[in-house]
Amino acid sequence: MSDKAILEINGEKHEFPIMKGTENEVAIDIKTLRGTTKGVITLDSGYKNTGSCKSAITFLDGEKGILRYRGYTIEELAEKADFLEVAYLLIFGDLPNKEELDKFHSDIKKHSVVDDDVKKIIDAFPKSAHPMGVLSSLTSALTAFNPESVNVDSEEDMYNAIVRLMGKLPILVAWSMRKKKGLPLHYGDSSLGYVENLLKMMFKQPNEEVYEQNPILVDALDKLLILHADHEQNCSTSTVRITGSSHAGLFVSIAAGISALWGPLHGGANQAVLEMLEAIKEDGGDTKKYMAKAKDKSDPFRLMGFGHRVYKNFDPRAKIIKVAADEVLGDLGVEDPILDIAKGLEKEALEDQYFVDRKLYPNVDFYSGIIYRAMGIPTEMFTVMFALGRLPGWIAQWREMRLNKEPIGRPRQLYIGENERSFKSIEKR
Ligand code: CMC
C-alpha cells in the first residue's frame, strides 16, 4: 500500500500521509486538510470512520471478534487475572508483579473513605432517583472534597488522583444502592480484596454480625468487571477523553463518562435488556412478536442487547458472559425463566435474515443483567456496575490523553442554518 492518500478538490491535488497501527490498521492523517484546502473539513456524523486519537491501550477487531487489553486477550484475562490486576494493566501498561500489585492495592485502600458529609448529599436525593444520576453527581462532588485532585500536572499527581478514585468509587456505588434500599451506609473493610469489599459494602445487612462471602459471587463479579474494563473509543470513553482534554480534573471527566454511559444505546442497555425480557415474559413469552417489532421500521422498538457499532461478527465478551450466566445460575441454584427467553430470542435472531444481513449479534449487555439479577443486584444498578467495571479503562484513556499532551478536543461542523439577516422588532414577527 502507498504511504500517501491523494484527494482532488476542484482539480487541485492534496496529499496526506497514511499511517499504520501495530495491528496493520490504516488511517489517513488529515491534520493539514483545512489549511492546505483553505477551509475544507470532513463530515462523519457518529464518527463511524473517524479516529480521534492514537492509543496503545485496547485493540478491537470487530470483524474477527477480537478484544485485547494491552495485548492480552479478553478470554485469557477473564480466566486468569483478577480485576485489580487488569486495572493496573490497563492504566500502567503491564501486568503488575506482586510488589507492584500490593502497593497499588494498599494505596487504593488508604483512600477507600469519603468525607462523611457526602452522606448529606445522598440524603438530599429522593429515594426514586436513578442510581446512575446519583453516581454521576457524587463523583463530580468528590472534587469539592478532594481539591488536590483537580490540577494534575505530573505523573505523581495523576497517580494520587487515580488511587483516590479507585478507592472511593466502590463506596459511592454501594451507597447509591443502599440508599435506594433504605439501608444504612457504611464504609468497607480494608482487610478484604477489592471485589469482596464491594460486595460487603453493598450487601451486609444491619442486623448481621458477619457478612459471609460467597466465592461464586466474588468470581462472577470479578469476571464481569474485567469484561467491562475497557473498550477503546466508545461513547463514554470519548466523553472522558474530550472532557479531560480541556484539562478538567480526573473526577469530573469520569463523572461525564458516567453520564454518557447511562443511555440505553450504551451502558444503559443492560437495564433495558432485562426490562425487555421481563416484558416479553409478562406478555406470555411470545418472542416472535418482539422479533417482528424489532424489524418493523415504523416501530421504535429495538432488540436491546443486540448489535454493535464495531463488532460485526460476534462480541467476544458476550460469549464469555453467556457461559458464565449458565455457570453462576447453576452454582447458585437459581432457575430463571428469563434466561430461557434470552436463549430463545438469541437463537431466533441468529437465524433471522434481518439480523444476519445487518450482522447483529448479542453484545456484552445481553446476558450480563441475568447474572447481576441472580446475584441480587437490582435492575437499576446494572449500569452502575458497568460504570465501576469501566473505571480503569476510563482512567487509562484519560491518563494516556494527558501524558500524550493531546490538544483540546474541538470538532468542526458544517453550518446549515440561516445566512445573515436583519433583526425584526417584535411587532413585525
Ligand atoms: N434491533 C433491531 N435493529 C437493529 C438493532 C437492534 N438492536 N441494532 C441495529 N439495528 C439495525 C438498524 O435499524 C439499522 O437498520 P437499517 O440498516 O435497516 O436502517 C442497522 O441495524 C444498523 O444499525 P445502526 O443503528 O446504524 O448501527 P449503529 O452502529 O449506529 O448502532 C447500536 C449500534 C449498538 C447503538 C445499535 O445496534 C443498538 O441500538 N443496539 C441496541 C442497544 C444496545 O444493545 N446497546 C449496547 C451496545 S454494547 C455495550 C455498550 O456499548 O455499552
Helix pair 235-244, 382-403: axis angle to 10 deg = 40
DSSP output for 308-368: -SS-SS--HHHHHHHHHHHHHHHHHT---HHHHHHHHHHHHHHH-HHHHHTT--B-THHHH
152 within a domain of the structure (yes/no): yes
Is residue 125 domain-shared with residue 255, that is, in the same domain?
A: yes
Give 146: exposed, middle or buried? Use CB within 10 Å, 0-12, 13-18, 19+.
Answer: buried
Is residue 243 domain-shared with residue 151, that is, in the same domain?
A: yes
Q: Which of 375, 390, 413 is the last residue of a domain?
A: 375
Res 234 pLDDT > 80: yes
Q: Which CATH number belongs to the domain containing residue 184 in this structure? A: 1.10.580.10
- Are 88 and 96 in contact by the 8 Å Cβ rule? The answer is yes
66 within a domain of the structure (yes/no): no
Is residue 117 domain-shared with residue 169, that is, in the same domain?
A: yes
Select from 386, 83, 378 the least CA-distant residue to 257.
Answer: 386
Is residue 199 domain-shared with residue 337, that is, in the same domain?
A: no
82 within a domain of the structure (yes/no): yes
57 within a domain of the structure (yes/no): no
Select from 355, 359, 351, 364 the least CA-distant residue to 319.
Answer: 364
227 within a domain of the structure (yes/no): yes
Is residue 281 domain-shared with residue 243, that is, in the same domain?
A: no
Q: Quickly tell me which residue has 492514537 as its cell.
A: 54
Q: Does residue 294 have its Cβ closer than 6 Å to ligand 1?
A: yes
Ligand 1 centroid to residue 187 C-alpha, Å:
40
Is residue 145 domain-shared with residue 250, that is, in the same domain?
A: yes
Is residue 276 domain-shared with residue 152, that is, in the same domain?
A: no
Is residue 10 domain-shared with residue 26, that is, in the same domain?
A: yes
Q: Which CATH number belongs to the domain containing residue 40 in this structure? A: 2.20.28
* Collapsed DSSP state (helix, strand, coil) of residue 66: strand
The pLDDT assigned to 2 comes to 77
Arithmetic mean of pLDDT over the chain: 94
Structural domain count, the chain: 3
The pLDDT assigned to 334 comes to 87
Is residue 148 domain-shared with residue 193, that is, in the same domain?
A: yes
Q: What is the pLDDT of residues 39-61, one digit of tens each?
A: 999 999 999 999 999 999 999 99
Is residue 77 domain-shared with residue 187, that is, in the same domain?
A: yes
> pTM of the predicted model, to two decimals?
0.95
Q: What is the pLDDT of residues 235-275, one digit of tens each?
A: 999 999 999 999 999 999 999 999 999 999 999 999 999 99
- Are 249 and 415 in contact by the 8 Å Cβ rule? The answer is no
Ligand 1 centroid to residue 422 C-alpha, Å:
43
Q: Which CATH number belongs to the domain containing residue 362 in this structure? A: 1.10.230.10
Ligand 1 centroid to residue 302 C-alpha, Å:
8
Q: What is the pLDDT of residues 346-389, one digit of tens each?
A: 999 999 999 999 999 999 999 999 999 999 999 999 999 999 99
* Collapsed DSSP state (helix, strand, coil) of residue 59: strand
Nearest CA to ligand 1 atom 29: 309
Active site residues: 308, 365
The residue range of the domain holding 117 is 73-260+382-399
Q: What is the pLDDT of residues 407-417, one digit of tens each?
A: 999 999 999 99
Q: What is the pLDDT of residues 149-183, one digit of tens each?
A: 888 889 999 999 999 999 999 999 999 999 989 99
405 within a domain of the structure (yes/no): no
Mutation test of ligand 1: which of 67, 297, 358 has the most ligand atoms closer than 8 Å to its C-beta?
358
Is residue 287 domain-shared with residue 155, that is, in the same domain?
A: no
Measured from the CA of 308, which atom of ligand 1 is nearest? 34
Is residue 103 domain-shared with residue 203, that is, in the same domain?
A: yes
Paired strand residues for 84: none
Q: What is the pLDDT of residues 126-152, one digit of tens each?
A: 989 999 999 999 999 999 999 888 888
Reduced DSSP (H G I as helix, E B as strand, rest coil) percent helix, strand, coil of the chain, to 5: 55, 5, 40
The pLDDT assigned to 144 comes to 94
